[in-house]
C-alpha cells in the first residue's frame, strides 16, 4: 500500500512523512532534494536559473519519482511517499510553462513523457493522498523561517502563483481519497505529540489499522 503526502513548499511534507513513518514503522521515499539534486541550487540561485534550468529540474524530479515508485511497488509492505508525481506535472511543470520558464516545445515534450510514464503499473494512484493545506501568509512565514537557503531568497510573487496552482490542483483531484490537514492546527516541530492525532485520522480515512511492527528505513533517490 502506498500513502502519499502532498502540499506546497513550507507546509511540512517531509517532516510529516518522516514522523508518520516513525510512528507506524513504515518505509518512506523522500523527495530528491539537497545534495542528491544538483539542479535545485542552480534553479533558485542563479539570476536566470528558473529559465535556464526549469526543464532539467522537472525531468530530475520526474525520473527520481518514478524510480521511487518502481522500487516501492517491487517491495512488500506499506510505504509513505513525500510529494507526488501529479504535483510534479500539474503544479510545478505546468506553472513553469505558464510563467514562460518552459517553452511550448519543452512543455509538450515533458507532457508526452509524463503521460507515457503515468501508464506504467508502478504509477497507479496511491491508496490515500494526505494534502497539507495552509494560507499563503503561513506558508511564506514558514519558508522565510525554516526553508532552505535558496528558497528563502525567492520573491513572494513566486509563492503566490504556486499557492494558487496548488489550490486549483487539489480542488480537481479525484484519483484517490484525500485527507486534508490544515497545518495551522498542528506543528510537529514544536509539538511532536500531535502525530498521534494525525495518525488516527490517517487510519480512519484508510479504514484500517496500520501495522506498527514494520521496519523503518529511508529510500533516497
pLDDT per position as a tens digit, 97-154: 999 999 999 999 999 999 999 999 999 999 999 999 999 999 888 888 766 666 776 7
Q: Report d(CA 194, CA 15) in Å as an integer.
A: 12
Among candidate residues 82, 182, 187, 211, the one labeled active-site is 82
- In this prediction, residue 213 carries a pLDDT of 42
Q: Of the candidates 158, 145, 137, which has an alpha carbon nearest to the alpha carbon of residue 50?
A: 158
Cell numbers placing 138: 503561513
Residue 77 lies in a domain: yes
Residue 135 lies in a domain: yes
Residues belonging to the chain = 221
Residue 21 lies in a domain: yes
Assess whether 82 carries a catalytic annotation: yes
- In this prediction, residue 95 carries a pLDDT of 93
Cell 488516527 maps to which residue? 200
Residue 194 lies in a domain: yes
Region 61-71 average pLDDT = 89
CATH code for the domain of 14:
3.40.50.300
Residue 203 has pLDDT above 90, yes or no: yes
Residue 33 lies in a domain: yes
Residue 96 lies in a domain: no
Residue 102 lies in a domain: no
Q: Report d(CA 218, CA 34) in Å as an integer.
A: 15
Residue 44 lies in a domain: no
The count of domains in the chain is 1
- What range does the domain containing 159 cover? 2-38+62-88+121-220
Instruction: Answer whether 79's CB lies under 8 Å from 1's CB.
Output: yes
Output phi, psi for 81, to 5 deg.
Answer: -115, 125
Whether this prediction's pTM lies above 0.75 is answered by yes
Output phi, psi for 179, to 5 deg.
Answer: -110, 115
Amino acid at each position: 500500500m502506498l500513502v502519499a503526502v502532498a502540499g506546497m513548499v513550507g507546509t511540512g511534507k517531509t517532516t510529516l512523512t518522516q514522523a508518520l513513518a516513525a510512528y507506524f514503522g513504515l518505509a518512506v521515499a523522500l523527495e530528491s532534494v539537497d545534495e542528491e539534486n544538483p539542479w535545485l541550487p542552480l534553479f533558485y540561485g542563479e539570476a536566470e536559473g528558473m529559465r535556464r534550468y526549469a526543464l532539467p529540474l522537472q525531468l530530475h524530479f520526474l525520473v527520481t519519482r518514478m524510480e521511487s515508485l518502481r522500487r516501492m511497488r517491487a517491495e512488500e509492505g506499506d510505504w509513505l511517499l513525500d510529494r507526488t508525481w501529479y504535483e510534479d506535472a500539474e503544479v510545478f511543470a505546468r506553472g513553469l510553462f505558464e510563467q514562460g520558464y518552459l517553452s511550448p516545445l519543452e512543455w509538450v515534450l515533458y507532457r508526452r513523457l509524463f503521460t507515457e510514464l503515468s501508464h506504467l503499473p508502478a504509477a497507479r494512484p496511491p491508496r490515500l493522498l494526505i494534502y497539507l493545506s495552509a494560507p499563503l501568509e503561513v506558508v511564506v512565514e514558514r519558508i522565510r523561517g525554516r526553508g532552505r537557503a535558496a528558497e528563502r531568497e525567492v520573491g513572494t510573487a513566486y509563492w503566490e502563483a504556486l499557492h494558487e496552482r496548488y489550490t486549483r490542483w487539489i480542488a480537481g483531484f479525484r484519483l484517490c481519497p484525500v485527507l486534508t490537514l490544515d497545518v495551522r492546527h498542528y506543528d510537529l516541530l514544536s509539538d511532536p505529540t500531535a502525530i498521534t492525532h494525525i495518525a488516527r485520522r490517517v487510519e480512519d480515512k484508510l479504514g484500517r489499522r496500520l501495522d506498527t511492527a514494520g521496519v523503518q528505513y529511508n529510500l533516497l533517490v
